[in-house]
Structure 1
Amino acid sequence: MLNNEAGLDTEAALPRAEIDRDYNARASVPLETFEAAMRDYRAGSDAARVACPGHLDVVYDRQSGQTLDIYGLGDTPRPVFLFIHGGYWRALSKRDSAFMASTLAAHGIATAVVDYRLAPEVDLQEIVREVRAAAAFLWREGGDYGLDPERIYVGGSSAGGHLTGALLSGGWHRAFDVPETLIKGAMPISGLFHLGPIAHSFVREWLPLEDGDVASLSPALNLPACGCPIITAYAEGEPAGFERQSIGYHRLWQGAGFPSTLLKVAGRNHFDVVLDLAREDTELTRALLALIGTRQTPAGA
């Protein structure tokens, strides 16, 4: 019922051309705007590696050998913001994803950025498993790296917003031997929460999705029993599909009785909105700092 109310389960029935248009983030900005954002991701992250030394290339999952980087440590254990990069599950890396570390470190918050194997090398089931393994690693072993495992927050952009939702979803914690309240707060940005339309889009060229994948890997179809506070953010210049998905997921979260704030960021597009986290004077950063500063108990816990 909640999915019907949010309108997320009807998009797959749209004409293929309409789906492709509404989810083609790259076509929503000029080439120079896209390339500038990619350069800024890397430049900001390179600067953070110098300004916020920490632990690099920490293996979090022996099965895949994947690693994460940790920035912004202090004299006492710090809350950690786990950031998951986007790239439609087939591009970018943790080397492009640490641009917010200096800003958060100035407020006593550590940043962890995660690599995961990309499509088409692996399928989405495996990508989700690896990201969940990263969160479980921070909870089990984060204390050894200067982190407070009881204050893990997560965020990500675009495909990283979907993977943030995968960490918020229910039903996976027992397999990783972690508590359902592992995540204390989240900020999915420009996320994808119902994979139905994606399964019928151009994304199938590198990431085939069957009905079972849509059912098991869509955060909108796997809400948890207890939900932490989240900020569902998207850019004013988003493609229509990404905007609908953010609004729909926010409504689902609230409809389940969990706290969600919907944040539409003015003057930003799908690619540069997340760069606002590199600056302290932005609405997005202020919202994230407020989220991490509120030690709320997840609803339903």
Structure 2
Amino acid sequence: MDLSDAYSISKHTPGFEAYPPLWAQKAEAFRNRLSETGHARLGLAYGDGTRQALDLFLPEGSPRGLVVFVHGGYWLAFDRSSWSHLAEGARARGSAVALPSYDLCPTVRITDITRQVAQAVTFAAREVPGPIRLTGHSAGGHLVARMAAPGILPDEIAARLAHILPISPLTDLAPLMQTAMNADLRIDAAEARAESPVHQAKPRVPVTIWVGANERPALLDQSERLANAWGCGHVVEPGKHHFDVIEGLEDPGGPMVARLLS
């Protein structure tokens, strides 16, 4: 059974074409503004590859903790440069916010990306003291959920986790084996099992799954399955779809940021 259409999100979202240039424009303006005030540390290498780097945005005064946002793109597209503006909500509330890039499939496997994100979280956590909160969108939601598994993060870093908020996450990779994307993702049965958060034990850290009510049915199902498997918080936000639901991270007074920092 070919599930390519079920997981084709941009095709079924009216006006998708306007989003990537808008994201890039807002992100660049945000980086420029914070660079001018000395609140941006850009291009910090956490690993050996050219994409293994992160941007760190600092609040006014001493950080009250760290937020890490991991971008999506089906592990195939984008980097941190399109999402800088999503740091504003948590940053305005006193958190430092790190946004990593990572290598993409088919150059690497999803398993490798999970390890890279763990490296990025560890690096950022050693730069910023205090509690750590993780959020990510789509494939990034998968990656931050994976950080809750035992042994992924060093024990001293895992002990600082205060909240994980996956947004429209991919939680069971097995269906993606039946999509055209798998020519590049190269997921096999063993990796699907090992890399699917729905097969992880319920984490000790608080988790909230957040998804837009107008999301694709396959992604609504993915979110619900993880919420049920982990018995965790599950917010279905009215009127939002896959590409505008993340806008909540920009608003320091909004419910998404409030839940993330809770």
In the superposition, the TM-score normalised over structure 1's length comes to 0.80
Give me the whole-angstrom Cα distance separating, in 1, the residues matched to 2:245 and 2:256. 13
Measure, in 2, the Cα distance between the counterparts of 1:54 and 1:78: 16
CA contact (8 A) 1:54 1:70 kept: yes
Q: Give matches, 1:105-184, under 5 Å.
A: 105-139=91-125, 141-142=126-127, 147-148=128-129, 150-173=130-153, 176=154, 178-184=156-162
Moved more, 192-201 or 21-30: 21-30
Q: Which runs of 4+ in 1 moved over 6 A?
A: none
Output the amino acid matched with 2:195. L
Match of 1:229 in 2: 206
Counterpart position of 2:191: 213
Shift of 1:247: 0.7
Counting matched residue pairs gives 258
Counterpart position of 2:257: 288
- Aligned residue runs from structure 1 range 49-68, under 5 A: 49-52=31-34, 53-62=39-48, 66-68=52-54
Counterpart amino acid of 1:27?
K
Aligned residue among 212, 221, 226 for 1:249: 226
Map of 1:21 onto structure 2: 5
SS in 2 for 1:197: helix
Does residue 277 of the first structure (1) align with residue 249 of the second (2)? Answer: yes
Aligned residue in 2 for 1:11: none
Q: Is the 8 Å Cα contact of residues 248 and 257 (structure 2) preserved in structure 1?
A: no
What is the alpha-carbon root mean square deviation over aligned residues?
A: 1.9
Conserved 8 A contact 1:60-1:133: yes
Gaps of 5+ in 2: none
Deviation per CA, 1:8-66, whole angstroms, max 9, x where unpaired?
xxxxxxx32xx223211122213xx2122212221221122123332100011236761
Instruction: Return closer, same or farther for 1:181/1:97 CA change in 2, 3 Å cut-off.
Output: same
Partners of 1:86 and 1:92 within 8 A in 2:
yes
Candidates 79, 82, 87, aligned match of 1:96: 82
Q: Deviations over 1:170-208 (max 9, x none)?
A: 2323xx464543422111011011111112222212111
Change beyond 3 A, Cα 1:223–1:43: farther
The residue matched to 1:89 in structure 2 has which SS? coil
Q: 1:121 to 1:275 in 2, by over 3 A?
A: same
Shift in Å at residue 71 of structure 1?
0.6
Verify the 8 A CA contact 1:67 1:114 in the aligned structure 2. yes
Q: Distance in 2 between matches of 1:123 and 1:291?
A: 29
- Give the share of equivalent positions with the same residue, in percent: 26
Q: What is the distance in 2 between the residues matched to 1:115 and 1:66?
A: 6
Which structure 1 residue ranges, 5 or more long, are not aligned? 1-14, 255-259, 295-301
1:45 aligns with 2:57: no
| Residues 115 and 152, structure 2, Cα contact 8 Å, conserved in 1 | no
TM-score (normalised: structure 2): 0.91
- Aligned partners of 1:89 and 1:159 also within 8 Å: yes
